[in-house]
Chain A
């Protein structure tokens, strides 16, 4: 049976309440850490666990923590990134809604490890109802002595505040989040300096995703080595996957990293297979920003190996034939879905969400959206497809923050794998308005494709 470390208690009635959470072993990790461990010990356990950031980039958390500058007399901060706005991703919301104390417990442990006395949860503005739940949990934690001055009589102080965003995807980018938290317009900052040196109010700051922070609880409870036993290779532990699209059982799942994609999609324990017995057409495995995979590259890599739910296996083949685990927003498309339309839809999102600071992203995202819309409506030309390729190429890597890349990659991957479907929209403009193209040809046996 697959192990669950975050959602194991989610089914318990009333677990969002302090009493129930505490009765079921809640806050034991805080007791253990504050009473028997030093902050360095906690960092060490996190390093041993191999935990990697669950917000998208997959950067090793222990290493990120050890980069935090510690100048004498300057306060440090931990910021929890609960802005979750990536299309296809809804796992942080589930965690906070169902078991908010797990996040608070994780915040206490992580703040203690980093020597932060004031920490923040920056939550997506549209999640107002979740904010209320977390707010109530924070109040309960204060009332029971887990937050505030001199926690458990150990001399450690921690204040925890929650702050809502105002509806901008870009504020999930860590430096834009910091600007927004400072009360400014949410424009990403130029790096360097990195937040670990100069973050919130120019102070050393760590920004971590909700899921990353909650994972610290089982790591402290069971030890980093124990955590690292789960998973495969450098993909250790469990991961929450937000599954959506044409499957029988969409929802949030906690999986052990290393599970095969095939089992994840088709077994009854997870997604229960494709809805209405349709065929799988494509899959975006890690949220809207990562490259889309055509049906023949979803369950197998280009080398014919089983594709696994892990950082390495999903990325196998690079952008030519692979993708990324990203934030774990797993979107499944059946044969009735239109890739051109979907790519247009994603492009529309990035156009709407660009902060507008740097020219390639500000102008290029809108341009791509317009060209894609034209193609989708059956008014495009073959030259439009090459134009799109050229626009995304000129955005990628040339912007201030990764939103530009995130806008370029889905377009690039769609053209790379589904070019024939784009061309069909051009050549059969009428037909493309009344029916969908179906599956693209399996290119896995051909050599070298663009």
Chain B
């Protein structure tokens, strides 16, 4: 037998790629990139156990594998289903997927306040993007929506459960990045809510990361809340020397002022290097940072749309570079 690790071939919407065994369909799709990538609202690569919950990433497996070509009977969550060799998957090319995804988007929105104009997350909200790309224009829900009071989770973080989609990302973040298990979910069904242990303040050094992982405006930064719409700020890559974290961050500037500090997110909105509370909440002076330059936001969202640093469409020929 050859020493080389065997690779698995997977085809998604007609595009093929070879991946290591154990790769999920979603991650294989991300390696291919573009239109074949299913939306993901709960999966988060760096959080163990995340995924499987929101069901936005459902895809159709039209061929199980080379060995067992039978299609899978149900749509599967691409974030938590492993690739098999010879597997064929349909994302946008499947009507079943499009239909189910519309359903999921509608489900996620029925209890959502839909008051984006007054929400702090507007412009960098994954639910907004999801609804725009995959939803239907009109909701058929005519009942009262679930609401909660806003709660302070300690000095820096505001929880507005009304906006939460129960993706569990913050729960995994709190469990995996901090020492004590003090942040979790109470109650069940659509009455479930994020809470801290007996309304305890969250004070751990890394707890601020729950803000970054939250796909919606349920967890926000109290030092920034409502200071500015995000698209009026300029994101700058910056670093500092920090003994708690690696100090790689993004500064969101208004003029010369640092309005907010976040960790760096990739094109899927995921943070790969978490930052500490000190860097996030307490370093708001430019002198505390080494500014590297404008941050490129590759997610197509209003943050980049209305922005000086814009991704250049691939088909554009850059004359001066040619």
Contacts and interface: CB of A to CB of B under 8 A. Distances in A.
Interface of A: 168, 170, 185, 190, 351-360, 362-367, 370, 387, 394-395, 397-400
B140 interface: yes
A356 B80 contact: no
B140 A387 contact: yes
8 contacts: A168-B188, A355-B188, A358-B55, A360-B55, A362-B192, A365-B189, A394-B106, A398-B103
Nearest to A364: B107
Contacts of B52: 190, 357-358, 400
B171 to A, nearest CB: 10
B66 to A, nearest CB: 19
Interface string B83-125: 0000000000000000110011011101100000000000000
Residue with the greatest number of chain A CB neighbours at <10 A, chosen from B55, B141, B187, B191: B55
A359 B100 CA distance: 12
A357 B141 CA distance: 21
Given A355-B188, A356-B166, A397 B143 contact: no
A362 B99 CA distance: 18
B292 interface: no
Given A359-B55, A387-B140, A366 B185 contact: no
Contact of B190 (A170, A356, A387): A356
A89 to B, nearest CB: 21
Contact of B104 (A351, A360, A370): A360
A360 B188 contact: no
Shortest 4 CB-CB distances between A and B: which pairs? A394-B103, A356-B192, A363-B107, A354-B189
A365 B111 CA distance: 12
B153 interface: no
Given A168-B188, A362-B107, 14 more contacts: A190-B77, A353-B188, A354-B188, A355-B188, A357-B166, A359-B165, A359-B166, A360-B104, A362-B189, A362-B190, A366-B189, A367-B141, A394-B103, A398-B104
A366 B53 CA distance: 17
A394 B100 contact: yes
A367 B144 CA distance: 10
A365 B110 CA distance: 12
B97 to A, nearest CB: 10
Pick from B58, B110, B140, B189 the residue with the most CB of A within 10 Å.
Answer: B189
Contacts of A358: 52-55
A20 B52 CA distance: 51
A398 B58 contact: yes
A363 B55 contact: no
Given A185-B185, A397-B75, A360 B107 contact: yes
Contacts of A356: 166, 185, 187-192
A398 B52 CA distance: 11
A362 B189 CA distance: 5
A379 to B, nearest CB: 11
Describe A's contact surface by its main secondary structure: helix
A400 B189 CA distance: 13
Interface string B137-166: 000110100000000000000000000011
Contacts of B187: 356
B71 interface: no
Contacts of A395: 103
Given A358-B53, A398-B103, A400-B52, A370 B191 contact: no
A53 B191 CA distance: 33
Contact of A359 (B53, B99, B143): B53
B103 A360 contact: yes
B189 A394 contact: no
B184 interface: yes
Given A354-B188, A355-B188, A362-B190, A394 B107 contact: yes
Interface in B217-259: none
Contact of A351 (B56, B75, B190, B192): B190
A363 B52 CA distance: 16
Given A354-B189, A356-B188, A356-B192, A397 B74 contact: yes
A351 B190 CA distance: 8
A198 to B, nearest CB: 13
A360 B108 CA distance: 8
A399 B189 CA distance: 13
B162 to A, nearest CB: 14
Nearest to A399: B55
Nearest to A356: B192
Contacts of A170: 188
Nearest to B191: A356
B220 to A, nearest CB: 22
Contact of A190 (B80, B100, B185, B192): B80
Contacts of B190: 351, 354, 356, 362-363, 365-366
A358 B168 CA distance: 10
B111 A398 contact: no
A428 to B, nearest CB: 22
Contacts of A370: 143
Contacts of B189: 351-356, 362, 365-366
A239 B151 CA distance: 52
A107 to B, nearest CB: 30
A356 B164 CA distance: 12
B110 A363 contact: yes
Contacts of B107: 359-360, 362-364, 367, 394
Contacts of B103: 360, 394-395, 398
Nearest to A357: B53
Interface in B162-219: 165-166, 168, 184-185, 187-192
Contacts of B143: 367, 370
Contacts of B188: 168, 170, 353-356
A23 B143 CA distance: 62
A360 to B, nearest CB: 5
A398 B100 CA distance: 8
Contacts of B192: 355-356, 362
Contacts of A354: 188-190
A278 B150 CA distance: 55
A251 B82 CA distance: 47
B234 to A, nearest CB: 35
Contacts of A359: 53-56, 104, 107-108, 165-166
Which of A354, A360, A363, A367 has the most C-beta atoms of chain B within 10 angstroms of its own C-beta?
A: A363
B311 to A, nearest CB: 30
Nearest to A186: B188
Contacts of B106: 394
Contacts of A366: 189-190
Nearest to A192: B82
Contacts of A399: 55
Interface in B8-62: 51-56, 58
Contact of A398 (B55, B140, B141): B55
Contacts of B54: 358-359
A210 B83 CA distance: 37
Tell which of A366, A387, A398 has the most Cβ of chain B within 10 Å: A398
